[in-house]
Amino acid sequence: MGNSFGKLFVVTSFGESHGRCVGVVVDGCPAGLPLKADVIQKELDRRRPEASAGSTGRHEEDKVEILSGVFNGMTAGAPICLIVWNKDVDSTEYEKIRCIPRPGHADYTALVKYGGYNDYRGGGRFSGRITAGFVMAGAIARRLLNIIGIEIVAHTVQIGSVEAAPKAISAIKKNVERNPVRCADLKAAGEMIKLIEKVKKEGDSIGGIVEALALNVPPGLGEPVFDTLEGDLAKAFFAIPAVKGVEFGAGFPAAAMRGSEHNDPFAIKKHNIVTLTNNAGGIAGGISNGMPLMARVAFKPTASIAKSQKSANIKSGKSLDLSIRGRHDSCIVPRAVPVVESMMAITMCDFAMRAGLIPGVIK
């Protein structure tokens, strides 16, 4: 269980890395939204390894098929099932490591939880490939958010120890798709690319941080005390494999700040109330305040590395050194940018619906 997300805009994920397909059912999308495959395909293509530095050698066409819910090029008010078929599957490497869990992977926890019946090939349900479904659902969510003017953009702010300098939102939007690490700071982008190549050569991997922004969010979204913006966004982000931290606004560094420093002062700007800083990341009391929503998502380094690692054979109970070949991302972060955007879009779409902002029929 646990494969559905959302209250009014409900996303149900299915499929495995080396199974027949990866898919998603989106329930709750209003009728009347123009939706052709190309809109979804465009987002899927951003997620393809070819578009990012440090990515896997697995080449999937990832061509979306719309199985239901769209009629005459418009959403029909019915659940929308979308799939991509798995084609470039090579499971030869996985059989031999069935009893030897790979460090950093979910092999062991899945084995325990599913009694060994889980599809372990390519990580099965735990593969980053599952996020193709998130991106398809996210493409729909973004279209709905566009109707009410909300825009989602994410960018890489850190790879390893290379940090991007802060950039204006306009620069982020302009630069992020122009380089294969999706970093708005082009100088840092260059260093990030070099770092990823270095790490790859060493048979190792590296982590990073993605920052996600939701722009033009009207004040008043969020349903505290439990369904806070932060809480539901965090839950959505943690569904992405390799995410180990989520923070909003000033985030963890806020712990070292004074109230007089962290509190965002209010001011009036063109008859609207705004804050002069955005340490809150656009959220107060779990509710949007009209400023840009700002989240940062920390990715651990990709678990798959070529270097030899210590593991143990579960059946024999013996320790051993494990070397894995395979086609893996040495840095998942650049490819994760559209996935982070998708999870943010899905979550914000649900909140917008709960606030009654998206009409039941799009006209």
d(CA 36, CA 21): 20
Number of residues that bind a second copy (CB under 8 A): 150
Q: What angle do CA 35, 39, 44 make, to 5 degrees?
A: 130
| Amino acid at site 244 | K
Of 171 and 254, which has the nearer Cβ to a second copy? 254
Shortest Cβ 73–a second copy spacing (Å): 10
Of 49 and 69, which has the nearer Cβ to a second copy? 69
- For residues 258 and 265, the answer to whether their CB atoms sit within 8 Å is no
- Centroid of chain to Cα 266: 32
d(CA 311, CA 64): 38
Sign of the dihedral through C-alpha 25, 28, 31, 35:
negative
Contacts to a second copy from residues 198-217, by CB under 8 A: 199, 204-209
Of 51 and 209, which has the nearer Cβ to a second copy? 209
- Residue 51 touching a second copy (CB under 8 A): no
Kindly indicate which of the ranges 52-60, 145-153, 165-173, 244-252 contains the residues binding a second copy, using the contact rule CB under 8 A.
Answer: 244-252
Kindly indicate which of the ranges 43-51, 87-95, 181-189, 225-233 contains the residues binding a second copy, using the contact rule CB under 8 A.
Answer: 225-233
Shortest Cβ 170–a second copy spacing (Å): 26
Contacts to a second copy from residues 161-190, by CB under 8 A: 161
- Residue 304 touching a second copy (CB under 8 A): yes
d(CA 31, CA 139): 16
Token output for 5: 């997300």
Among 55, 56, 179, 279, binds a second copy (CB under 8 A): 279
Among 59, 166, 273, 323, binds a second copy (CB under 8 A): 273
Partner residues linked to 297 by β-bridges: 210, 246
- Residue 225 touching a second copy (CB under 8 A): yes
- Residue 263 touching a second copy (CB under 8 A): yes
Among 96, 258, 315, 325, binds a second copy (CB under 8 A): 258
Contacts to a second copy from residues 322-351, by CB under 8 A: none
Among 32, 190, 292, 326, binds a second copy (CB under 8 A): 32
Residue 262, judged by CB atoms within 10 A of its CB (0-12, 13-18, 19+), counts as middle
Shortest Cβ 274–a second copy spacing (Å): 9
Of 173 and 300, which has the nearer Cβ to a second copy? 300
Binding mask 54-73 for a second copy (x = CB under 8 A): ------------xxxx-x--
Of 45 and 163, which has the nearer Cβ to a second copy? 163
Number of Cβ atoms within 10 Å of the Cβ of 160: 18
User: End-to-end distance of the chain based on CA atoms, in angstroms?
Assistant: 36
d(CA 231, CA 235): 6
Q: What angle do CA 69, 218, 337 make, to 5 degrees?
A: 60
Shortest Cβ 53–a second copy spacing (Å): 16
Reduced to 3 states, what is the DSSP secondary structure of residue 82?
A: strand
Among 10, 51, 97, 147, binds a second copy (CB under 8 A): 10
Among 132, 239, 324, 340, binds a second copy (CB under 8 A): 239
Residue 272, judged by CB atoms within 10 A of its CB (0-12, 13-18, 19+), counts as exposed
d(CA 313, CA 334): 34
- Residue 352 touching a second copy (CB under 8 A): no
- Residue 315 touching a second copy (CB under 8 A): no
Shortest Cβ 181–a second copy spacing (Å): 13
| Residues near 115 by beta carbon (within 8 Å), at least 6 away in sequence | none
Q: Which letter does DSSP use for residue 250 in this model?
A: T
- Residue 47 touching a second copy (CB under 8 A): no
